[in-house]
Amino acid sequence: MKNVAVIGAGTMGNGIAHTFAQSGFSVNLIDISEASLKRGMATITKNLDRMIAKEKISEADKKLTLSHIKTHTSISEGAKNADLVVEAAIENLELKLNIFKELDKACSDSAILASNTSSISITQIAAATSKPERVIGMHFMNPVPIMKLVEIIRGYNTSNAVTHTIMELSKTLGKEPVEVNDYPGFVANRILMPMLNESIETLYNGVAGVEEIDTVMKLGMAHPMGPLQLADFIGLDVCLSILHVMYDGFKNPKYAPCPLLVNMVRAGKLGVKSGEGFYDYSENRKAEKVAQQFQK
């Protein structure tokens, strides 16, 4: 397995492309937008520069990694010779089904088709193809080049051979793969999202403020980041989407999203990506934080 196609040049997609390219794979990064591809490649370059600054890689390593990545705006062109395709588009079922229908036509019968979905059924995605036994979930964690975990999700029809291949491949990337079965939220988000949602409920009910809730979880539970800040970094729209998938899948009210989360997403307060969520990430606020650091 040498040729990998990654669909989606956003946060997860460019991180996945970076990781495969740094491990020596030839990568086609695919997105319908040239602007998104340019932003994705700029992010990969910036992250490689950070690694150089930390003396984890050399300038030659950076150039080699970048040389392994080519960009495309066409799935049929970018994925036609792929041994593995990793779809990392937004968490939208209709979009993913359309992508996998197109991949089914574009790719060879031997290609493995993987989705980076964080909650949507792999079995349902696989049903859009004529080769469901070759469809699997590879749920990477953000930031992909740093985080070790990959959830490997078997669909109902995923073959043992494909599962074994992807488990071993993940290890060659320096990751720790964990095999899980195909139920809403899998393991990571089935546990994480109710915690984030309960943290938002705690704020919504006036039990404590944003920083107080996060401080309790950081100092009391040894979490590296508070749940509300983590929700901001994930994206409140993404959290809401995952909770909807889990609520629809289980029909259990414990997965129903908090009204505060719903309203914040409606208002466009999505966290880091929009500049404001539970915390303020605007340029003015960043400048204020820098000034405070110099005053200390």
Annotated binding site for NAD(+): 8-13, 31, 91, 96, 118, 142, 273
Cα–Cα distance for residue pair 193/190, rounded to 1 Å: 6
Under a CB-based contact definition with an 8 Å cutoff, are residues 101 and 95 in contact?
no
Spot the catalytic one: 14, 87, 115, 151. 151
Cα–Cα distance for residue pair 240/262, rounded to 1 Å: 7
DSSP 8-class letter at 24: T
Q: Which residues are documented as binding site?
A: 8-13, 31, 91, 96, 118, 142, 273
C-alpha pair distances (Å), 69 with each of 23, 65, 91, 292:
12, 7, 24, 40
Spot the catalytic one: 14, 28, 115, 118. 118
CA 23 to chain centroid, in Å, comes to 19
- CA 162-163-164 angle, 5° bins: 90
Residues in the chain: 296
* 189 catalytic per annotation: yes
DSSP H/E element including 286: helix 283-295
Peptide bond into 143 cis (omega under 30): yes
Spot the catalytic one: 36, 116, 170, 189. 189
Tokens of 58: 């050399």
Reduce the DSSP state of residue 228 to 3 states and report it: helix
* 108 catalytic per annotation: no
* 130 catalytic per annotation: no
Q: Which residues are catalytic?
A: 118, 139, 151, 189
